[in-house]
Amino acid sequence: MSTMMRILLIAGSLLTAGYVLRRVRKSRMRTEDSVFWLAFSLILVLMGALPDLVTRLADLIGVMSAANLVFLIVIFLMIIKLFLMDQRISVLQRQAEETAQAVAVQRRREQEKTGPEGAGKDRNGE
């Protein structure tokens, strides 16, 4: 693995870790998400700091070069993160639909209670 690739890995991962920690301190990122990104940064630092380990692992697995292995690992981790985010989005969409349905039922019940004289009025009674 070239020296420039090692420097980019380490610098990029340290910048990512710093950004994540800043977001956590400002309460703009969930702890579960920050753990993933900090672990991801640590993996990149290790790959940049220990190129011989990456080269040996690439030879063991049969990957042509250490750089290809780094890209393979990054892509694999991003696919895992994408899958986890997709699961969370599905749960949130289901919750949003259930909430919208509950609100619609509640509004319908309120309209039925007020009767026809309440029809056509908005929330302010106008």
pLDDT per residue, tens digit, the chain (126 aa), is: 788 888 998 999 999 999 999 998 888 888 888 999 999 999 999 988 998 999 999 999 999 998 899 999 999 999 999 999 999 999 999 999 999 999 999 999 999 888 766 555 555 555
- Is residue 120 included in any domain, yes or no? no
Query: Does the residue 123 lie in any domain?
Result: no
**Is residue 126 situated within a structural domain?**
no
Measured CA to CA in angstroms, residue 6 lies from 37, 45, 76, 97, 108 at distances of: 19, 9, 19, 47, 62
Domain count, the chain: 1
pLDDT at position 32 is: 84
Q: Assess if residue 57 is contained within a domain.
A: yes
Domain that holds residue 22: 3-113
> Would residue 108 count as lying in a domain?
yes
With contact defined as beta carbons under 8 Å apart, do 66 and 51 qualify?
A: yes
37 contact partners, CB below 8 Å, separation of at least 6 = 16, 17, 20
Q: What is the DSSP letter of 117?
A: G
Give the three-class secondary structure for 55: helix
CA dihedral 60, 82, 27, 95 (to 10 degrees): -150
Q: How far is CA 72 from the centre of its chain?
A: 19
- Is 119 part of a structural domain of the chain? no
